[in-house]
Amino acid sequence: MSESKNNIIFINENIKDKNSVLEFLSKVALDNGYTNNKDSVLEAYTNRENQISTGLEDEFAIPHAKSKAISKPGLIFIKLSEGIEWETFDNKKVKYIISFLIPESGGSDYLEKLSILAGNLADTETRKKIKNCKTESEVNEVLNSFFMTKEKEVKKNKKKSDKYILGISSCAAGLAHTYMAKKAIEDACEKLGYNYKVEAHGSLGVENRITEEELKNALFLIKAVDVEVDEENRFNNLFKYQCSTNDFIKNKEKELEKAISKYEKVKNNFTEKEEVEFNTKNIDSSESNKKDNIAKRFGRDILKHMMSGIGYCIPLLIGAGLMIGISQLLALISVENSVENFSSLFPGTLDSKDWVQDVKGWNGFIWTLYFFGMNIGLGYLFLTLLGGFIGYSINGKAGLAPGLIAGFVCIMRNTGFIGVILTSLTVGYIIKFVIAFMTPKGKLRPLGSVLFVPLIGFFAAISMGWWVYGFPLEWLNVALQDGLKKLAENQTQLVLLCVLIAGMMAFDLGGPVNKSAWAVYTFLWTDTSNSDVVRFVPNAAGNIAIAVPALGIAIATWIVPRYFTLDDKVKANTSFITGLFGISEGAIPFLIKYPLRSICINVTGAILAVIPFVVTKNTMTVGAGAIYGWVFTSNPWLYIVCIMLGAVWVGCWQALFQKIHFHKKTNTKFALYYSKNDFKNNFISIGNLFVKKENKKPLLEDKFKIFINDNNINIEKIENY
């Protein structure tokens, strides 16, 4: 490909959203002879965005398309008149777009240019140069000189060492940030002149695995991770530098220079395994961690281990929720009207030898779906695996089995997921202490992993789960159930009972308080000696409340997407799916991440949703939560409205507090009020979802916005917000 001095450049283009940008780029490619098939180019752009967002930071994005339909390579630059929503590192809108058109074959020069561009856009001065360009010729000159300069530098850039810098990247969801961090490590090593190899521990497993030969020729390991990963003892003899994925993405060269500096100070210690374990004890934490006190670091570690354990269990939550939903739908169209009624057809239990023989035919199939979804997926298996993966996050393979035991003991004690988290964390740190101070040294060291750790770990798991946490949480469970049942004896206190059930269902999302409320309204519903009001009104309250938190957090990410991370948005969408089927556990990651605000918002949202339904003594005759039980209520439309009312309440308050949290964390101005135009734009955007492209209304422009910062109120003219 010959060098092109004339790129396609647009200044102050008026485009309103990312999809329109991709369509515009595809049309430009067609109009300028780069393709004969606009739709194929648009598909290539869209597929690339669906893999990992091409949004960077500071209002820049680099969408690119590689396709057989592209006949020749090219570059398109667009400066928008206003910023648009795009998934970026800093959650800011995008205004400057640099796009590459790359043929399926013969576009190697432009692939190299793309990598050069990505590296240079990490430099603040480079971004300023592009932003300061006023005309098309200025942009063209900056881009061309910029590429020529970088290509000369790359040719001159010799590797500083024959050895490798190794890397591992992993985020909680195993999606966008995993691969962005991988690319950041590779770019930083390339720019500073080092050989590199980076493993991505993503949702599809380990990708680009490091080989034994590369391990032998390694300098040190960079861990850009948000959750613990299985290192398989492969890196025991290497110095490890650890930071979060976000830190490395934002400051890749600075983080790599820190790692190199620390490695240079301690590299002589890395000769034998014993020396590594002793000398790296306090080395592999980032500079910011050292400045914090021990309590803060310990709190962050606990949060990381909890989020890691839940992250592993998210696919199980989705699968279990879908099985429950499918079984409920199939049951509701059958003569039984409710899947719980199928249980009477199968007297066998999981413990009986004839359980399989009891479950036969179509009804048996439906009940099996429900049983494995509710009892196994959200019961035995979820809680057991949650304990195991938390233990694994703390101690690797040594913590897996004791964590599994902790989870199973908590199931026996009926402590819910809170008991599992408390027990597995406690056991995990006990094992960590045992490994550090109680395992034999020298030749007897292997006995530690096969004897001391399992023995002490199993004993601690059973003791903690049974005595330390089991008794208090079980007592709390029983006390709450007894109190609610006493309220149920007096029909004049029925509304108070329903309000308490709603608040408890939303309080800990599967913990002992939630389980107590569920047990009470299910007991009342199945007790045919009660009146219809006592049986079916609390049942309606519980089934409304169970969906509110999970749906609400998803709505929050839709209202203010720029203030949530990509991983948060993935988990919120999962939460929405499970919430539709009456499974509240999908919102647990947010309850753990933001506990105080989540409890307050979820409880008030659930109560708000339940009150209009139960005050009028509306009933629900089946045990089907969320959307698929609405036809079995005495007022189906009010049932749907109440769920949406609670969910919108949760979504709006979560969005507001997330916005406050973001501005506080980034030390930026907080817009407390929206202008009239900004408020109207919310409804315009929603309305545009339901009309054809040619009938979509343009968003109104904002001219002023009120800001509050440092106790001062300012009115500022807004050009791009």
Domains of the chain (ranges; CATH) run 8-156 (3.40.930.10), 164-291 (3.40.50.2300), 298-468 (no CATH), 475-666 (no CATH), 676-717 (no CATH)
Q: Which of 112-116, 234-238, 409-413, 510-514 has the lowest mean pLDDT?
A: 112-116
For the whole model, what pTM was predicted? Answer: 0.53
Q: pLDDT digits over 473-531, tens only?
A: 888 878 877 787 777 777 678 889 899 999 999 998 877 788 788 878 877 876 767 77
Query: How confident is the model over 639-689, as pLDDT tens digits?
Result: 999 999 999 999 999 999 988 887 777 666 665 555 555 566 666 766 766
Structure-derived torsion over alpha carbons of residues 594, 596, 602, 603, reported in degrees to the nearest 10: 170
Residue range 365-393: mean pLDDT, rounded: 83
Mean pLDDT of 566-571: 79
Provide mean pLDDT across the span 546-557: 92
Beta-sheet pairing, 218-225 with 164-170: parallel
d(C-alpha 285, C-alpha 263), whole Å:
12
Choose the weakest-confidence range: 126-140, 169-183, 382-396, 699-713.
699-713
CB 417 within 8 A of CB 510: yes
pLDDT of residue 539: 87
Winning range, highest mean pLDDT, from 283-292, 524-533, 584-593 = 584-593
CB distance 453 to 440 below 8 Å: no
C-alpha dist (Å) from residue 68 to 38, 100, 101, 102, 473: 12, 14, 11, 9, 62
Q: Which two tokens stand for residue 435?
A: 């490994």
Long-range Cβ contacts of 558-565 (<8 Å, 24+ apart): 558/651, 559/651, 559/652, 559/655, 560/655, 560/658, 560/659, 561/85, 561/87, 562/85, 562/91, 562/92, 562/93, 563/91, 563/655, 563/658, 563/659, 563/661, 563/662, 564/91, 564/658, 565/177, 565/246
- Structure confidence at residue 434 (pLDDT): 85
pLDDT in tens, 232-261: 567 877 888 888 887 888 788 888 988 988
pLDDT in tens, 148-164: 644 444 444 445 567 88
Q: Do residues 167 and 249 make contact, with C-beta atoms less than 8 angstroms apart?
A: no
In 334-469, where does DSSP find H-type helix? 355-358, 361-371, 381-395, 397-413, 416-437, 446-447, 453-463
| Residue 674 per-residue DSSP state | -
Hunting for tokens 């429950």 — which residue is that?
A: 324
Q: Pick 342 or 103 by higher pLDDT.
A: 103
Average pLDDT, the chain: 76
What pLDDT, on the 0 to 100 scale, is given for residue 174?
Answer: 57
Q: Is the pLDDT of residue 271 over 80?
A: no
- Asked if residue 287 has pLDDT above 60, the reply is no
Residues 273/237, Cβ–Cβ less than 8 Å? yes
300: Cβ contacts below 8 Å, ≥ 6 apart: none
Q: What does the DSSP assignment read for 79-127?
A: EEEEEE----TT---EEEEEEEEEESSS-HHHHHHHHHHHHHTTSHHHH
Q: Where are the alpha helices (DSSP H) in 157-291?
A: 176-192, 212-216, 245-250, 252-266, 273-279, 287-291
Assess whether pLDDT exceeds 60 at residue 284: no
Tokens for 563? 């203030």
Compute how many other C-beta atoms are within 10 angstroms of the C-beta atom of residue 631. 10
